[in-house]
Every structure is written in C-alpha cells, then in structure tokens.
Amino acid sequence: MDVDRIFWINKAKASGVHLALSAGIFFLFLYVLIFYWYPLPYFHSDGGWQGVRIMLFVDVVLGPLLTFIVFNYKKPRNKIIFDLSVIAAIQLGALIWGVNAVYNGRPVVIVYYEGSFSSQEARVFYDLGVDINKIKGEGNPPIVVVSALKGRADGKARVKLYNRGFSELQIIDTYETVPENIDRIKGDADTFNFYFSRNKTRKKMLEQYLKIGNKNREDFIIRNYIGKFSGGLIILDKQGKYIETLID
C-alpha cells in the first residue's frame, strides 16, 4: 500500500471516529430538543428545524471536518494530541454557543391577546429578568390569556412595565387560564372569522382535521396561532380546554 493511500486512510479513520462521537452527542441533543424544548407541533413553527441546522453544523460537521483537515499520523504523538485538543476546544466553544442559542430561542408560553395566540421565546423573558418558572398553564408550552384591565391601579402598573421594555404579551402577572377567559375568546369570533375566511391554506387544513373522525366545527373554538417562523390554528373545546395545534 503506497504512502499517500495510508495517509488518506488514517485521516478518514480519525475523522470517522470524531464523527461517530459527534453524532452521538447530536442525537442526544435532538431528543431533548424535540421532547422538551420544541415539542411538536411547535418544532416546525418556532425554530426547531433552525436549531437542528445550527447543531448539525457546530457538532456533526465542524469538528470532524477540522480533524480531517489537520490530522496527520506522521506527526509526533504530542503534536497530534495538541491538534486534537485545539479542535476539541473549538468544537466545544461552538457547541456551547449553539446550545445556548437554541435553548434561549425555545417557546416557553403561548399567549392569547386581541384575537390570536402567539408564542413567546425564553430569550425575551431572560432579557427582562423574568422567572419563566412562574408561568403556569395547560399545555406544553403553557397556554395563557392576557387578562382584561382590572382598574386604574392595574393600568398604571402595566404602563410602568411598558416603559421598562415589556410588551402586553410578556407581563406574566396578567396571565390567566383559558377557561377563565373563555367568554372573551368566544367574543372574538368575528375577528377570527374575518381573517380565516381569506386564508385558503388554513381553511383546507381545518377541513382535513374535521374530516378525521367526522368532527363538527361547532363543537370547537378555533383561533389563529402566530409562531416565530410560521403559524396555524389552536383548537379548544367549548369550555376552553386545549385540544390541539395545527401548523400550516
């Protein structure tokens, strides 16, 4: 076997071992991402795929590629160890950055306000100094409703938070459960119907959903859902119990 062939075979072996280790880490991350950080169906609408692409590059591609480029079995053992240590440090740094970006971008609450549900990512609450563990509600992520104003004192308190950078959707002290506010949600039917009647994609999606099991639309409350990258419909029963989210 000629020297050049041995050289490339050893490169391929070294990068292959690195690839196998990286793939193991990646699949562990993928499990956490799908089942905890970006549970279906929000994986598709709120950044799950974007997170997979980030981690695929920083974990599965970057490290093994650097190993393939740098590894040379002819180098002294201590230099090989040094090279691989530098690559490991680079990959670890990129991995920490990638995990942090994906973790902070995950949806932590679905908020109903002015006729629609929309997701709010963790990063926003962290930047505002809000403890997201205090957010309670049904579903994963929790589904809540921004409460109606409760007098002048409540209004003044909200204005102070607006001045600090909060939006109406991020004041967790105003969050209430969907069943508590079901009459308000029902009262927004005209707003929903106006936009829904003009969205052929969502009409077809809802028709297909209702067709399975011969469901009756009158048995549900349906409102628009606005995600980070795409949207859909959130389906509730008449008492406000969460049933399902359909994504475009």
- My answer on whether 133 and 88 are in the same domain is no
Domain count, the chain: 2
* Per-residue confidence (pLDDT) for residue 58, from 0 to 100: 82
Greatest Cα-to-Cα distance within the chain, rounded to the nearest angstrom = 86
- My answer on whether 100 and 211 are in the same domain is no
Number of C-alpha atoms within 13 angstroms, CB side, residue 10?
14
With a CB cutoff of 8 Å and minimum separation 6, the contacts of 204 are none
Cα–Cα distance between 232 and 247 in angstroms, integer?
Answer: 4
- My answer on whether 92 and 118 are in the same domain is no
Give the domain-ending residue among 43, 76, 104.
Answer: 104
* Per-residue confidence (pLDDT) for residue 247, from 0 to 100: 93
Residue 131 three-state SS: coil
* Per-residue confidence (pLDDT) for residue 177, from 0 to 100: 93
- My answer on whether 235 and 204 are in the same domain is yes
Measured from the Cβ of residue 220, the count of other Cβ atoms closer than 10 Å reads 17
- My answer on whether 199 and 239 are in the same domain is yes
What one-character DSSP code corresponds to residue 105? T
- My answer on whether 130 and 63 are in the same domain is no
- My answer on whether 155 and 235 are in the same domain is yes
Task: Per-residue pLDDT tens, the chain, 248 aa: give them.
Answer: 566 787 788 888 888 888 898 899 999 999 999 999 999 899 999 999 888 888 888 888 888 888 888 888 888 888 888 988 898 898 889 888 989 999 999 999 999 998 899 999 999 999 989 999 999 888 889 999 998 877 778 888 888 888 888 888 998 989 999 999 999 999 988 888 888 888 899 999 999 999 988 889 999 999 999 999 999 999 999 999 999 999 98
- My answer on whether 132 and 191 are in the same domain is yes
Peptide bond before 76: cis, by omega within 30 degrees of 0? no
Give the domain-ending residue among 57, 73, 104.
Answer: 104
| Interior/surface letters 45-61, b for 16+ CB within 10 angstroms, e for the rest | bbbbeebbebbbebbbe
* Per-residue confidence (pLDDT) for residue 100, from 0 to 100: 92
- My answer on whether 161 and 237 are in the same domain is yes
- My answer on whether 41 and 145 are in the same domain is no
Residue 50 three-state SS: helix
Cα–Cα distance between 61 and 141 in angstroms, integer?
Answer: 31
Cα–Cα distance between 9 and 193 in angstroms, integer?
Answer: 64
- My answer on whether 31 and 121 are in the same domain is no
Domain holding 69, by residue range, is 3-104
Give the domain-ending residue among 74, 89, 104.
Answer: 104
Hey, what amino acid is at 223? R
* Per-residue confidence (pLDDT) for residue 36, from 0 to 100: 92
E strand residue ranges, 9-141 = 107-113, 116-121
* Per-residue confidence (pLDDT) for residue 157, from 0 to 100: 84
* Per-residue confidence (pLDDT) for residue 75, from 0 to 100: 86
* Per-residue confidence (pLDDT) for residue 3, from 0 to 100: 62
- My answer on whether 99 and 119 are in the same domain is no
